[in-house]
A and B are shown apart, each in its own frame.
Chain A
Amino acid sequence: MIRTAISAMLLASAAPALAEIHSVAPGEGAQERLQEALILAEPGDEIVLAAGRYELTDGLSLDVDGVTVRGAGMDGTVLDFTTQAGAGEGLLVTSDNVTLRDFAMENPKGDGIKSKGADNIVYYRIRVTWTRGPHPENGAYAIYPVESTGVLVDGVKVTGASDAGIYVGQSDRITVRNSIAEANVAGIEIENSRNALVEHNIATRNTGGILVFDLPDLPVMGGGNVIVANNLVVANDTANFAPPGNIVAGVRRGTGIMVMANEDVLIENNILSGNPTAPVMVIAYVQPYDDERYNPLPRGVVVGQNTFDGGGYDPQLEGGEMLKAAFGGELPPVMWDGLGSLYVTGDAPGWSLNLTEQGKGLGAAQPAPLAAPAPEAEFDRTGIGAPAELEARLSR
Chain B
Amino acid sequence: MKFGTASLLAASLLLAGTVIARATPPPEQYVNDAAIMDGGLPRLLSDYGFFADAPAQEPVPEVHPYRLNTPLYSDGADKFRFIYRPAGAQISASGEGLLDIPVGSALIKTFAFGEGKDRRLIETRVLLHRADGWLALPYLWNEEQTDARLAVAGARIDLTTPRGEAISYRVPNKNQCKECHGLDREVVPIGPKARNLSGDWLEQMVAAGHIDRMPQGADRLPLWEHRGKSSVEDAARAYLDVNCAHCHRPGATASNSGLDLRWEQDDARALGIMKRPTAAGRGAGNLLFDVVPGDPDASILLHRMIVNEPGVAMPELGKATVDEEGVEAVRKWIAGMEPR
Contact = CB atoms under 8 A, between A and B. Distances in A.
Contact of B310 (A110, A138, A287): A110
B312 to A, nearest CB: 8
Interface residues of A, number: 53
Q: Which of B173, B178, B277, B280 has the most CB of A within 10 A?
A: B173
Interface stretch (A54-62, A313-321, A383-391): A54-62
Contact of A245 (B152, B174, B300, B317): B300
A33 B173 CA distance: 12
Contact of B256 (A31, A109, A147, A163): A147
Interface in A267-305: 287, 290-291
B258 A219 contact: yes
Contacts of B256: 116, 146-147, 169-170, 218-220
Given A86-B310, A246-B280, A35 B287 contact: no
B281 A287 contact: no
A276 to B, nearest CB: 25
Interface in A84-116: 84-88, 92, 94, 108-111, 116
A328 interface: no
B316 to A, nearest CB: 4
B288 A92 contact: no
A88 to B, nearest CB: 4
Interface in A129-163: 136-141, 144, 146-147, 162-163
Interface in B140-171: 152-156, 168, 170
B175 interface: yes
A126 to B, nearest CB: 19
A86 B317 contact: yes
A39 interface: yes
Interface in A13-50: 31-33, 35-36, 38-40
Contacts of B154: 32, 35, 58
A162 B152 CA distance: 33
A146 B279 contact: yes
Contacts of A363: none
A366 to B, nearest CB: 29
A286 to B, nearest CB: 11
A217 B178 CA distance: 26
A73 interface: no
B111 to A, nearest CB: 16
Interface string B299-312: 01000000001110
A326 interface: no
A170 B300 CA distance: 22
Chain A interface SS verdict (over half): loop
A147 B281 CA distance: 18
Contacts of B309: 109
A94 B253 CA distance: 9
B279 A245 contact: no
A35 B281 contact: no
Contacts of B179: 61, 92, 94
Given A63-B178, A245-B277, A217 B311 contact: no
A169 B175 contact: no
Nearest to A147: B256
B340 interface: no
B303 to A, nearest CB: 9
A140 B153 contact: no
A38 B175 contact: yes
Interface centre among B175, B283, B289, B320 (most CB of A within 10 A): B175
A39 B311 contact: no
A217 B170 contact: no
A245 B173 contact: no
B153 A31 contact: yes
B24 interface: no
B2 interface: no
B175 A86 contact: no
Given A109-B310, A287-B276, A243 B178 contact: no
Contact of B280 (A32, A140, A291): A140
A117 interface: yes
B176 interface: yes
Contacts of A62: 175
Nearest to B255: A219
A346 interface: no
Contact of A39 (B173, B278, B281): B173
Contacts of B283: 110, 140, 243
Interface in B232-285: 250, 253, 255-256, 258, 269, 275-285
20 contacts: A31-B153, A35-B175, A36-B152, A61-B175, A61-B179, A86-B170, A86-B320, A136-B282, A139-B311, A140-B282, A141-B281, A146-B256, A146-B279, A215-B276, A215-B278, A218-B258, A243-B282, A243-B283, A244-B288, A245-B276
Interface of A: 31-33, 35-36, 38-40, 57-58, 61-63, 84-88, 92, 94, 108-111, 116-117, 136-141, 144, 146-147, 162-163, 167, 169-170, 215, 217-220, 243-247, 287, 290-291
Which 4 A-B pairs have CB atoms at the shortest separation, nearest pair first?
A: A140-B281, A245-B284, A110-B311, A61-B175
Given A63-B178, A138-B282, A244-B288, 18 more contacts: A38-B175, A39-B153, A39-B173, A39-B175, A86-B317, A86-B320, A88-B310, A140-B279, A141-B279, A162-B281, A169-B278, A215-B276, A219-B256, A219-B258, A243-B284, A245-B286, A245-B300, A246-B284
